[in-house]
Structure 1
Amino acid sequence: MLRDLALPLSRKQITSIVETQDAPIALWSGAVSSGKTIASLIAFLIRLTVAPDHGLVVIVGRTLQTIERNVLDPLQSRHLFGPFAAHVHHTTGSTTATILGRTVHLVGAADARAEGRIRGATIALAYVDEATLLPRPFWMMLLSRLRVGNESRLLATTNPDGPFHWLRKDFILKAAEVGLTSWHFTLDDNPSLAPQFVARLKKQYVGLWYRRFILGDWCLASGAVYDMFDEARHVVDPLPAMRRWIAVGIDYGTVNPFSAVLLGLGEDDGLYAVSEYRYSSAEALRQMTDAQYSHGLRQWLANVRRPGEKATARGVTPEWIFVDPSAASFMNQLWTERVPNIAPAVNDVLDGIRSVSVALGSGLLRIHRSCTGLLGELPGYAWDEAAAERGEDKPLKQDDHSADALRYAVHSTAHEWRGLTEQQEEAA
């Protein structure tokens, strides 16, 4: 089978494929694009050809969509799997696929309730995509369903997480006890990567994600969240003219500060936090209503100075106003007043932090000195080390209101600016 594949394999990939066949539980972990997924999928295909008929074959991921993207799309690529790709059949949205003539069940496991989807099943072969993202109760239920004698197998891949994550603590560090065989991959273990692509990957991941996704370390989320932030590099006084007013991000607060950050795309293709509106009821000794916040927000936008134009040029209409999705009443107020372009922000905290980190690390994102609330928060915005010791990656929930507003604006528009990071890196 290996001779018929359309891509080169490293010695580590081949070794992991061969040694997997006798391993009850096999795990490939390490850096992004390190070749671990390809090796694991080849091992899965080989094992599928000998999997017992009297048991189910399942592919598990966080959602059906991630299974389709991370597992089925590669399997259907002739560039990767040559003639075997023609034997992988799946209709988008379906919870089954046919692979090498065998029905394979696709199971999304976003939370602990998903264990009900496999309860009572007898599973002969399971493949798990991104195991650290699965709830531990689901993983344990999956192991209990592998009950076709000594013939059942579990194959899994993952990027590293924190050192106290249950997968590392209860399985990787106890490999011999639980019947686990694992392999750690780095970028150097993937012979098909071009040097330019490797260099670009290393620039795209910064801070915590560089240590985990590039170095492949199971490391603690500790210290500053935005440890790449440098006042000399990221804080600006003069601003270029803005080609687009991309978005406003709003973190709503009544007792806590209300913060809005305006994001613009400059004519130099840089991303700029141009201006900030912030109201602290604790400092003002007076809370404001949703209607008053709406009025203040609209007045602020109407008076934002447009850089690169004459001094009297004021007022902007952003393409989007992204609001903290928990602030339903404030969004309703804005809609009632017919404020245009209102939408709930994308509030995936870790993915959002990574987007801001990429924008800062590449030099794409800069912040005007007038954004004093934001600049006051960023250096002290830190990981919660107590949560990290419980196996969770969470920032401390203190002095984070403008930081959250920036995250809403940047992450909710990541598809608009992501390609510009390469230009910034080349210019640097």
Structure 2
Amino acid sequence: MTEEIRSYTMNFGPQHPAAHGVLRLVLEMDGETVRRADPHIGLLHRATEKLAESKPFNQSIGYMDRLDYVSMMCNEHAYVRAIEKLLGIEPPERAQWIRTCMDEVTRILNHLMWIGSNGLDLGAMALFLYAFREREELMDVYEAVSGARMHATYYRPGGVYRDLPDRMPQYKESPWRKGKDLKRSNEWREGTLLDFLDAFCDDFFGKIDEYETLLTDNRIWKQRTVGIGVVPPEMALAWGMTGPMLRGSGIAWDLRKKQPYAKYAEVDFDIPVGVQGDCYDRYLVRVEEMRQSARIIKQCVAWLRANPGPVMVKNFKVAPPSREEMKDDMEALIHHFKLFSEGYCVPEGEAYAAVEAPKGEFGAYIVSDGANKPFRLKLRAPGFAHLSSMDAIVKGHMLPDVVAMIGTYDIVFGEIDR
């Protein structure tokens, strides 16, 4: 075969299933081997940062959910923490424990989506169905606390929207759910949301073992992932990688341990790290992270059961008064209308707050000029830094390995094309 025929340029995506609809890679190929990979972004661009600069602070919390739309509450957490730094306020202790708990619920949701979709990209169909079985249970938790299954807008500067509910919604009888099956489905839902989370975590450890039975020693899975997309620790640091991408290369960096926020300093958990820095190691890291998240949730549930209390600061300038207070206090009523129409002014200054989101360090940098909206907002998305390294990592690999590499990045384009 002549050199001219062997060398060609091909489009990978955006319609390719593994490109998840919005990533276009221009690949320069030498037969089946990748010479160069050029990621093209911008197909989903929706100017989140600019939109947030035109609205009062509280009205942009919903935009955060729509960035990495698989890690909704973690995005909110970084944004509201930056606002809290500017305002100089501290959420009540119970609100911080709830945030810690819901961040870990979000981490499991994200990793279940990752393990299901990455397995599907590489040919493991059954795992996708199993992962979504557990995912649906946790989506019910999102719905119970916020009323929405995805875009929760649950965190607020000064705390959370409301306390955890005393009861979980139950399945009702239908042509698809009858008798014994209905009773089993509602078994965890007889008590409070905390009872539900406790039962879910006890069961979830066994479910993770099931996932590992399907994949960890599966020879096809290992052929597709072992030795593929090796990222040495020096390269991971040079490209600004965080999260499982960095820990998979053997660097135990986790903001929950290194720069604790919320109540992470008071819970016990381990940081899983890889050895080879390949796709297989990053898979093992994410699987172990799900176990650690379940451990953290169990500890949060125990504390929340024993310690009732407020979940929002008592400050009418940033938190709405209760309906009872508005009935008796005209000043509270005025604060209510002012808060939801104009918002609140934040002192001049700048603040950066970051959280250990499921994909890595997600940060919000806000500059305030004293108005009721950000003068500038800049978001630090982990996926953007990871995708930038695509060419350096896949060069010399075969075309099917590009699919494995995109999967192991755990890319969601909402945060990249923000």
Which structure has the greater CA radius of gyration?
1
**TM-score with structure 1 length normalisation?**
0.22
The structure where strand makes up a greater share of residues is 1
Higher relative contact order (CA 8 A, sep 6+): 2
The structure where helix makes up a greater share of residues is 2
**TM-score with structure 2 length normalisation?**
0.23
